[in-house]
Amino acid sequence: MPSTTPPSACRHCGIDHHEHMQRWTSAAGWHQWTQPTQQQVKQRMTVRRKARTTSR
C-alpha cells in the first residue's frame, strides 16, 4: 500500500471514498466503498507519518 493512501480509504482496494464509486478487486469482487478497519486506519497513519519524517 502506497504511503499516500488516505487513512479512511476503502478497506478492500485503498481508494478514497470520494473517488471510489464501484470497483473490482480479486479479493472482494465488485464492491462499493467499505469502511476500513481500525487496524487498517492505524497502519495507514503510521506509514504516512514515517514517510513524512523520513522525507525531512
- pLDDT recorded at residue 51: 87
* Amino acid (1-letter code) at residue 46: T
Q: How far is CA 29 from the centre of its chain?
A: 17
Three-state secondary-structure class, residue 32 = strand
pLDDT tens sequence across 1-56:
455 789 999 999 999 998 898 888 888 899 999 999 999 999 999 998 998 888 66
What the block records as the C-alpha cell of 16 is 478514497
Whole-prediction pTM value?
Answer: 0.76
- pLDDT recorded at residue 3: 59
- pLDDT recorded at residue 1: 45
- pLDDT recorded at residue 38: 97
Give yes or no for a contact between 16 and 9, defined as CB atoms under 8 angstroms apart: yes
Three-state secondary-structure class, residue 10 = coil
